Amino acid sequence: MFQFSSIKNLFNPAEMNLVKSSWDRLHRLPGGKRVFSKGVGRVAPYTGSIPASIEELRAGYARVTLEDIPKVRNHLQSIHAVALANLAELTGNIALSYSMPADARFIVTQLKMEYLKKARG
Q: What is the rounded distance in angstroms from the CA atom of residue 115 to the CA atom of residue 23?
A: 31
Residue 13 pLDDT: 57
pLDDT at 20: 95
Intervals of the chain under pLDDT 50 = 1-9
Q: What integer pLDDT is reported at residue 59 of this predicted model? A: 92
pLDDT at res. 91: 96
Q: What is the pTM of this model?
A: 0.82
pLDDT digits (tens, 9 = 90+) for 73-103: 999 989 999 999 999 999 999 999 999 998 8
CB 36 within 8 A of CB 23: yes
Query: How far is Cα 108 from Cα 120, in angstroms, rounded to an integer?
Result: 27
